[in-house]
Amino acid sequence: MSKMYTKHAVKYAEVVKGNIYNALLERPSTMSLLDNLQGKDVVDMGCGPGEYAQWFLEQSVNRLTCIDISQEMVALVKSKFGSNVHAYCQNISQGLPLEKDNSADVIVCPLVLHYVEDLTPVFESVYRILKPSGYMVFSTHHPFADFECSESGNYFSRELVEEEWNTVGTPVKVQYYRRSLTEISEAITHSGLLISKMSEGVIDEKAKDLSESTYRHLKNNPNFIFFRCEKVRTSQSNEVLFHARQLAYIQK
Ligand SMILES: C[S@@+](CC[C@H](N)C(=O)[O-])C[C@H]1O[C@@H](n2cnc3c(N)ncnc32)[C@H](O)[C@@H]1O
């Protein structure tokens, strides 16, 4: 795991409060895919320092579970929110074995899945944990943006990319997986989840005041990709299919 989320966790927590990529692009774009969260049981997979947790508590969620592989991140969340959240360490590559079946209304997973090599156990766990009619919203690196870093030149092959990021004011080595849109979409649908919305995010105009050049770049280029996926019971999806067929028949 990158030292960005362990040794530099406190600095990372400060930076993402108001930076362009997280505060003015990623968080508003993810939040726009969520319905009203009041009274909902929410699981935050890869919660980081708790910027989302803060917002979930402000939305009056019922139960908030925050999970991260980094002990430092989990400690930050516990120190900020105490007993208002249930926070613990777990590598989501192994799924979420401690979460009960059909127990979450909403699962969010912002900017985490590019650190996971095999997405299958993650989405299988999400499907198992979601209540019937629950949903998941996640964001990850945009496959087209990451393709610039490909060494193989083969868009369709998964690659481990290593870079140095200056997010915390000093270069920190980060490794992540670059993968195709097909791989992401197949991992989702293989689990039984249905993709109901996909977006490429919208940069907030306020970014102009922080950096005109970064704002321009993000206005013109995709950087992250955002999905909403639904757990629809088989009978419900059959019903949707039935109505779609009826509509097609009427339109003939
Ligand atoms: C870019 S940060 C995003 C944090 C938070 N989701 C947010 O958007 O503010 C990525 C987080 O994912 C966590 N992470 C990375 N790999 C993980 C894994 N395999 N299991 C659980 N958490 C992981 C890191 O420790 C870090 O806190």
What would the mean pLDDT of 209-234 be, rounded to a whole number?
A: 94
pLDDT at 241 over 90: no
What would the mean pLDDT of 234-240 be, rounded to a whole number?
A: 52
Burial class from Cβ neighbours inside 10 Å (0-12, 13-18, 19+) for residue 225 reads buried
pLDDT grade, residue 1 (50/70/90)? confident
Our answer on whether the CB atom of 111 is closer than 6 Å to any ligand 1 atom is: yes
pLDDT grade, residue 251 (50/70/90)? low
Our answer on whether the CB atom of 226 is closer than 6 Å to any ligand 1 atom is: no
Pocket test of ligand 1: the residue of 1, 2, 5 to mutate, having most ligand atoms within 8 Å of its CB, is: 5
Q: Residue 9 CA: which ligand 1 atom is closest?
A: 27
DSSP 100: P
DSSP 18: T
One-letter identity of residue 126: V
**Span from the CA of 251 to the centroid of ligand 1 (angstroms):** 47
Give the pLDDT confidence score for residue 18 in this predicted structure: 96
Q: Are residues 133 and 230 in contact, defined by beta-carbon separation less than 8 angstroms? A: yes
Domain that holds residue 89: 3-251
**Span from the CA of 10 to the centroid of ligand 1 (angstroms):** 14
What would the mean pLDDT of 124-143 be, rounded to a whole number?
A: 98
Distance between CA atoms of residues 19 and 26, nearest Å: 10
What is the number of domains present in the chain? 1
One-letter identity of residue 37: L
Give the pLDDT confidence score for residue 235 in this predicted structure: 54
**Span from the CA of 5 to the centroid of ligand 1 (angstroms):** 7
Give the pLDDT confidence score for residue 106 in this predicted structure: 98
What would the mean pLDDT of 218-222 be, rounded to a whole number?
A: 97
Give the pLDDT confidence of 58-70 residue by residue, as tens digits. Answer: 999 999 999 999 9
DSSP 134: E
pLDDT at 144 over 60: yes
**Span from the CA of 47 to the centroid of ligand 1 (angstroms):** 6
Our answer on whether the CB atom of 46 is closer than 6 Å to any ligand 1 atom is: yes
Q: Tokens in use for 175? A: 């490794």
Q: Are residues 141 and 178 in contact, defined by beta-carbon separation less than 8 angstroms? A: yes
Give the pLDDT confidence score for residue 78 in this predicted structure: 98
Give the pLDDT confidence of 163-201 residue by residue, as tens digits. Answer: 999 999 999 999 999 999 999 999 999 999 999 999 999
**Span from the CA of 113 to the centroid of ligand 1 (angstroms):** 8
Our answer on whether the CB atom of 52 is closer than 6 Å to any ligand 1 atom is: yes
**Span from the CA of 1 to the centroid of ligand 1 (angstroms):** 10
Distance between CA atoms of residues 252 and 86, nearest Å: 53
Q: Looking at residue 207, which CATH number applies to its domain?
A: 3.40.50.150
